[in-house]
Amino acid sequence: MSNETEDAGVRHLMLRSLDRIVEEKAENAAQAADGKPGFPVDLWSALEEAGMTALGEENEGDLGLGNAMALVERAAYHTLPVPLAETILARRLLAKAGIEIPDGALSMAPPSAIRDGKATGVPWASSVTSVVTTTAPDTLALIDAREAASSGFNMAGEPRETIDLGRARIVASAKLADAAKIVEAEGALVRAVQMSGAMSRVLEHGLTWANDRIQFGRPIARFQAIQHLMAELAAEAAAGSAAALMAVEAVAERSDRLAIAIAKARTGEAAGRVCAIAHEVFGAMGFTQEHTLHYATRRLWSWRNEFGSEVQWQAEIGRAIAAGGADSLWATLTAHG
């Protein structure tokens, strides 16, 4: 068996075992956690025991990143209310900086939201062991923020908290060139991958609904207007997932900020359209708290803003190409085959 097929086999088993954990422990986890601080500890332990929380740390030519991101994508598909993406990302960043990685769930502070001694929008700051942050543009630090965080949530009811940095305890710190830029970019990569997972959930949900919901004596899937909306939803979701996948491969091979920018810009845009179409197709039922559609759509609305909205990343792409001159566009697009 080649390395590649072996890797695909490992990935398949890992994703199936995640599905099983979700079935046993997390059927209604997103609902139970919605808008509450902390995260379901027994679900987290199950993930930890299955070896799913310590992945993707290798730096060079890592197959690890691909597997880790496949897991993050699947967890997002299941709308799992745990800091899995954050922990995987924080471990990666700490490994890059050569800081010893603590056990347990971790998180990181979005660098652009650190100012006036406060870090805002920090996922699960008060309930994870430690948080990765940048104390200077080229310094990565690990802090314990459990006593220094105040509560808050994103649109999806996921904890996004504010850390009073003066009150947090610095556990370790190290120089890492461009630390802030790296955290921003890798955070964007992870959110792009999560959006890909959540969009495939919305597509699946929408297809089932369109075939089940009866109006005018037939499933709404029989209406051409609905068919075309769903076709557009599928196309946007496919584009978003292709862009995210492309970035994961690029980052596994080299440092490729442009690929990340493309991924976050494209998935963010796709997410907006996917949510709008899905809600249209679900009608009033999808607009209720009782229905489960919003666990995916509210995450998409949140994630497209986090670690830079699509507009910020689009502008970065535009500036990069413009700076290289008009004729650099084609060379850039084809630089890696």
Partner 1 sequence: MPEFRFEPVQMPPAATRLRAEVRGFLDEEKAKGTFAPTVGAMVAADPSFSARLGARGYLGMTWPKQYGGHERSALERYVVVEELLAAGAPVMAHWIADRQSGPQILKHGAERVKKMILPEIASGRCFFAIGMSEPDTGSDLASVKTRAVPVEGGFRVTGRKVWTSYAHMAHYVIALVRTGGRPEDRHVGLTQLIVDMKSPGIEVRPIINVYGAHEFNEVAFDDVFVPEDMSVGGIGNGWAMVTSELAFERSGPDRFMSTYPLLVEAFREIGESPNASEAAELGRLVAHLATLRRMSTSIAGMLNEGKSPVTEAALVKDLGTTFEQSIPEITRRLLPLEPRGGGNGQAYDGLQQLAQMQAPCYSIRGGTREILRGMIARGLGLR
4 binds partner 1 (CB under 8 A): no
Name the pairing type of β-strands 214-215 and 130-136. Answer: unpaired
Judged by CB under 8 A, which of 158, 184, 186, 269 binds partner 1? 269
Q: What are phi and psi of 163, to 5 degrees?
A: -105, 130
Burial of 139 (0-12, 13-18, 19+ CB in 10 A): middle
Residue with tokens 């890492």: 176
For the chain, how far is it from start to end, CA to CA, in angstroms?
26
CB of 148 to partner 1, least distance (A): 35
204 binds partner 1 (CB under 8 A): yes
x/- contact string, 151-190, with partner 1 (CB under 8 A)? ----------------------------------------
261 binds partner 1 (CB under 8 A): yes
CB of 61 to partner 1, least distance (A): 15
CB of 249 to partner 1, least distance (A): 6
134 binds partner 1 (CB under 8 A): no
Q: Which stretch binds partner 1 (CB under 8 A): 28-36, 95-103, 225-233, 291-299?
A: 225-233
326 binds partner 1 (CB under 8 A): yes
How many other C-beta atoms lie within 10 A of the C-beta of residue 230?
A: 20
Q: Report the alpha-carbon distance of residue 323 to residue 311 in Å, rounded.
A: 18
Q: Is the distance from CB of 107 to CB of 87 less than 8 angstroms?
A: yes
42 binds partner 1 (CB under 8 A): no
Residue 50 or 315: the one with the smaller Cβ distance to partner 1 is 315
Q: Report the alpha-carbon distance of residue 139 to residue 178 in Å, rounded.
A: 8
315 binds partner 1 (CB under 8 A): yes
Q: Report the alpha-carbon distance of residue 165 to residue 317 in Å, rounded.
A: 32
321 binds partner 1 (CB under 8 A): yes
Helices 63-77 and 3-25, axial angle in degrees (round to 10): 30
CB of 236 to partner 1, least distance (A): 8
Q: Is the distance from CB of 58 to CB of 72 less than 8 angstroms?
A: no
Judged by CB under 8 A, which of 78, 266, 294, 299 binds partner 1? 266
Q: How far is CA 332 from the centre of its chain?
A: 26
63 binds partner 1 (CB under 8 A): no
Two tokens, residue 51: 């070896």
CB of 69 to partner 1, least distance (A): 13
Residue 186 or 269: the one with the smaller Cβ distance to partner 1 is 269
CB of 77 to partner 1, least distance (A): 11
Where would I find the H helices in the chain? 3-25, 29-33, 41-49, 63-77, 84-97, 179-212, 224-253, 257-282, 293-303, 310-324, 328-333
Q: Is the distance from CB of 185 to CB of 240 less than 8 angstroms?
A: no
Short-list 232, 213, 310, 215, CA closest to 276 = 232
34 binds partner 1 (CB under 8 A): no
Q: Which of residues 237-256 bind partner 1 (CB under 8 A)?
A: 237-239, 241-243, 245-246, 249
Count the site residues for partner 1 by CB under 8 A.
Answer: 53
10 binds partner 1 (CB under 8 A): no
User: For binding to partner 1 (CB under 8 A), which residues are involved?
Assistant: 200, 203-204, 207, 210-211, 221-222, 224, 226-228, 230-232, 234-239, 241-243, 245-246, 249, 261-262, 265-266, 269, 310-311, 313-323, 325-327, 329-330, 333-334, 337
